[in-house]
Amino acid sequence: MRAKLICTCLIVFSLFALELSAQWQVYTPALPDTVGTFDLRIADGNDQVAWGVSMKYDVMPDGYYWLAMDSLIYTKTSDGGETWTGGTIPMGPEPYASNICPVSADMAWASGLDFDYVNYIMRTTDGGQTWERQFEEGFVAATSYINFVHFWDEQNGIAMGDPAESDTHPTPFFEIYKTDDGEKTGPGWTPPISPLPSRMNMVTQTFTTWWAITFGSVPLISAIIRDTGSFILPTGAPPGRP
């Protein structure tokens, strides 16, 4: 009886393992270098489209360490992962990625900073063949350190950096900017509230000290969560409205 039970369990486990393996497939995109994926996102409303941004790492027994490259590398699929393509994202000398945000197979945004802590928001509208810089010199200081850029569609987006000081705000404040026209420079990006929040020590849902932001539904209500409170940002509202 025991032998039959063990045999039955092995058969069930084998079938279960076979079913699990049938749900996953491995793909190796043809890329210009051997890299590791830093961020991978599926386009909102289209589960066939996904983009990733990658960097190079030195893998050691005690961990892995970032290695400088001339450009960031992106990968993308528009058929649910059946095929993948890739290329480079120019982002200054020795760039470091913050995130990537796809809207479609042709349009995506990527954020990061270079060796000199210059912040970058890059957009492509031709599937990654070319990239244009947005919001150049928009953040007040290198310490702003852009954390992410996120777009809900081709027009409405938000970008956030670490708390930083400025000539007009000596107390470090979160730099959070929005755009509702997809504009690539200055006037299209505006603070959602003014003055911007100055409270620090943010925590994520994992309770790790970090800068975090969560999104709600249209009209793009966002909340920065702190261990003792939160800021609600009506990012779809006119600048200056609390």
Binning pLDDT at 50, 70 and 90, where does residue 140 land?
confident
Q: What is the mean pLDDT of the chain?
A: 74
Least trusted range by pLDDT, from 33-37, 73-77, 144-148, 196-200: 196-200
Of 150 and 197, more confident:
150
pLDDT for residue 79 is more than 60: yes
| pLDDT of res. 64 | 82
| pLDDT of res. 188 | 54
| Residue 71: C-alpha distances to residues 80, 117, 121, 223 (Å) | 26, 15, 14, 33
181 — phi, psi (to 5°)?
Answer: -130, 10
pLDDT for residue 95 is more than 80: yes
pLDDT for residue 3 is more than 80: no
Q: What are the extents of the domains in the chain?
A: 26-193
pTM > 0.85: no
Of 191 and 210, more confident:
191
Angle at 38 between CA 32 and CA 43, to 5 degrees: 95
Of 147 and 175, more confident:
147
Name residue 221's beta-bridge partners: 234
How far is Cα 64 from Cα 61, in angstroms, rounded to an integer? Answer: 8
CB atoms within 10 A of CB 73: 24
Binning pLDDT at 50, 70 and 90, where does residue 216 land?
very low
| pLDDT of res. 191 | 58
How far is Cα 161 from Cα 120, in angstroms, rounded to an integer? Answer: 11
Beta strands in the chain (DSSP E): 36-42, 50-60, 63-67, 72-77, 85-89, 96-102, 108-113, 119-124, 132-134, 146-151, 157-164, 173-179, 214-215, 221-226, 229-234
